[in-house]
Amino acid sequence: MAEQGKKVNVDKLLLLADDMVKVLNTKKEGDVLVQTCDSAITIMSTFLSSSHDVHASIEDCLKKVDACKRNVEKVKSESVPDDELVRIQKVLEEMNKVEESLLQELR
């Protein structure tokens, strides 16, 4: 389907080129057309280069985002859930109470 869209644009471009050739009467106008075409080619080349650079930059950003997501998941899997921390804290408090009571008995 994309090929068909490109073909239509090429056909329109060819029709436009034919019309321009009919209009051009002197060598001077032909030289201007050649310069314009050369400029268009230069602009297209610059655009393609920039487009490639932007695409590479986007790919690099996506890789970094994926790496960050993996790191977040890794940290999540290694961390202790809040309810587990609360349970451990309670056990620790109980152990401290027992220790205090034992220390008092020893005195």
Q: Are 38 and 29 in contact (CB under 8 A)?
A: no
| pLDDT tens over the chain, length 107 residues | 445 555 557 777 778 877 777 776 566 667 888 889 999 999 998 998 888 899 999 999 999 999 999 999 998 888 777 888 888 899 999 999 988 888 888 77
Q: What is the pLDDT of residue 4?
A: 53
Tell me which H or E stretch contains 81.
none
Distance CA 72, CA 74 (A): 5
pLDDT at position 77 is 84
Q: What is the pTM of this model?
A: 0.45
Domains of the chain, residue spans: 2-106
**Tell me, what's the pLDDT at 56?**
94
